[in-house]
A and B are shown apart, each in its own frame.
Chain A
Amino acid sequence: MKPAPFAYVRAATLDDALRTLEEHGDGARVLAGGQSLMATLNMRLSAPEVLVDIGRVDGLAGIEDTGDTLRIGAMTRHVEVETSELVAEHAPLVASAMPHIAHPAIRNAGTFGGSIAFADPAAELPACAVALGARMTIAGKAGSRTVEADAFFRGLYETAIAPREILTAVEVPKIAPGWKSGLMELARRHGDYAIIGLAAHVEVEGGRFGGGRLVFFGAGDHPVAAAQTAALLEGETWSDRLADRLAASLKEELDPFEDLNADAAMRRHLAGVLVKRTLGPLAAA
C-alpha cells in the first residue's frame, strides 16, 4: 500500500519546525528517522496532512559528554549510538541494547529520539531510559522543558510530548562506580520486537546488591519498572533462593498483556527467567 497524500516540509531550524507544527495543528506529524512512522503511513494506519522533517535541523544530532551525563541528540542515528565509544564507556546498558534494535539498514536511518518518542512498549530504548533515569528535553513554543523518564512514558505509544512539541535530546546519566547493567530479551527472531525483555541497572559491591532498577519491556503498555521486586535485591548476594524470590515477586508485580506470541502467564514466567539470567552474571562479574 501507498500512503495517503500529504505535504512535506523540511524544517531548517528547530524554530522553523515548531512554527510549522503550530501552523498545521493536529494534522502535522514530525518525521525523524521515519522507521516506524513510514510503515504506519504505508499501511494507511495514519494519514497526516503534513510531515515536518526534522532530519536537517542543526544541533539535533550527536552525542556529547556534559560531565555527569551523555547528551544524545534526538536525531542521532542508532548506528552512531551503537558505535559510540562514549556510549560504550558511560552507558553500557544503552550500548548493549543497540544490536537488538531491528536490523542494520534500520539502525542506519532510525534515530535514538525517534525510538524514545514513538514509545513502543516492546522497544529497548524506552526501558533503558527508565532504568538509567534519563531526562528528556522537549522543545515547544514556550521554550524547552525537561521530563524525567519515569514521567515521560505514560501509556501505549503515549508520552509527555504534547502536540506541537518536539523531543530534542535525551540526557543519560553516566554509569556510576559500583553500578552494573545488563540487557536481555527474548524475541522469536533476531531483530524482532521482544516478547519480553529486561533492562537492569543495579548497584553491586563485592557481590552484594545495593539499589537498582529492573525495567521490563514488552510487559505492559509502557516500560515497567518492577520496584517491589528490585527492592528485594537490597543487601542480598546472588543465590538460587534469591532468584526464586525475585521470580515469585515478579509474578505478583507484573500485569502483562496477551498477544499472538505469549499470554500474561508466559510473560510473567519469562520475566523471572530474565531476571535470573541477567542478575546472576552481574553479581558474579
Chain B
Amino acid sequence: MDTNVDVSMRVNGDPVSRRIEARMNLVDFLREELGLSGSHVGCEHGVCGACTVRVDGRIVRGCLMVAAQADGADVTTIEGLSDTGEIRALQDAFVERNALQCGYCTPGMLLTLAELMERNRAASRSEIREFISGNYCRCTGYEAIVDAFEMARSARSGGGGDAA
C-alpha cells in the first residue's frame, strides 16, 4: 500500500499542498516541508508541549497528529500569530518580564496562553498554572510566565488573543 499521501491545508493563511510520507507528523511537516521552525520538537511523545500549534482554532500537540489529519484544516503557528499581531501583548509581556530564557518552549507556551486568554481571561494564578501544566519550561520555574499572562491581560493595547 502507498505510504505516501497528499495533503493540502492553510498554514498561517497561506494555502499549501505537499506529497509526504503518511507517517510525517504535523510539527515535522511545518518545520521540514514549510520551513516554519518556530514550533519545536521536544519529546515526540506528547508530553513537553514545545510543538503546540493551533488547528482550526484550538491548540493541539503537533507531534500527536499526522499531517494528513490536518488536511483541509486551518493551521496557525507562532510565526503566523507574530505576523498578525494577535499575541503581541503576550509577547511583549514575555520579553519585559523575562518569561522566556532559552526560548525553546516559548512558542508552545505562547500558543497555550493565547487560548487561555480566549477561554478564561480572568484566570487566577492557580488556573493559569493548571492551564500550562502540559508545557515544559526548564529555565524559568514558571512564575515569570504566570506574571506575564497577568501583565498581558491588563495591557491596554494588543489584546493578546483577546476575543473581546
Closest 3 CB pairs of A and B: A103-B134, A8-B22, A7-B1
Selected from B21, B60, B115, B133, the residue in CB contact (under 8 A) with A191 is B133
Query: In the complex, are the beta carbons of A6 and B112 less than 8 A apart?
Result: no
Query: Looking at chain A's contact residues, is the secondary structure mostly helix, strand, loop, or mixed?
Result: mixed
Query: In the complex, are the beta carbons of B23 and A109 less than 8 A apart?
Result: no
Closest chain A residue to B5, Cβ basis: A8
Query: In the complex, are the beta carbons of B59 and A105 less than 8 A apart?
Result: yes
Query: In the complex, are the beta carbons of B25 and A108 less than 8 A apart?
Result: no
B residues with CB within 8 A of A: 1-3, 5, 21-23, 25, 28, 44-46, 49, 52, 55, 58-61, 63-66, 68-69, 71, 112, 115-116, 129-131, 133-135
Query: In the complex, are the beta carbons of A109 and B65 less than 8 A apart?
Result: yes
State the Cβ distance, B130 to closest chain A Cβ, in Å.
Answer: 6
Query: In the complex, are the beta carbons of B60 and A108 less than 8 A apart?
Result: yes
Pair count A-B, CB < 8 A? 98
Contact partners of B45 in chain A: CB under 8 A: 39, 42-43
Number of interface residues, chain A, beta carbon within 8 A = 35
Selected from B3, B64, B112, B133, the residue in CB contact (under 8 A) with A38 is B64
- Measured between alpha carbons, how far is A43 from B44 in the docked complex, in Å? 8
Binary contact track A155-196/B, C-beta < 8 Å → 1, others 0: 000000000000000000000000000000000011100000
- Measured between alpha carbons, how far is A55 from B60 in the docked complex, in Å? 15
Query: In the complex, are the beta carbons of B46 and A38 less than 8 A apart?
Result: yes
- Measured between alpha carbons, how far is A8 from B116 in the docked complex, in Å? 33
Query: In the complex, are the beta carbons of A39 and B133 less than 8 A apart?
Result: no
Selected from A34, A105, A108, the residue in CB contact (under 8 A) with B49 is A105
- Measured between alpha carbons, how far is A151 from B51 in the docked complex, in Å? 38
Query: In the complex, are the beta carbons of B68 and A7 less than 8 A apart?
Result: no
Selected from B63, B71, B112, the residue in CB contact (under 8 A) with A10 is B71
Query: In the complex, are the beta carbons of B61 and A5 less than 8 A apart?
Result: no
Contact partners of B71 in chain A: CB under 8 A: 10
Query: In the complex, are the beta carbons of A50 and B1 less than 8 A apart?
Result: yes
Q: Is A230's CB within 8 Å of the partner chain B? A: no
Query: In the complex, are the beta carbons of A39 and B68 less than 8 A apart?
Result: no
Selected from A5, A24, A35, A99, the residue in CB contact (under 8 A) with B64 is A35
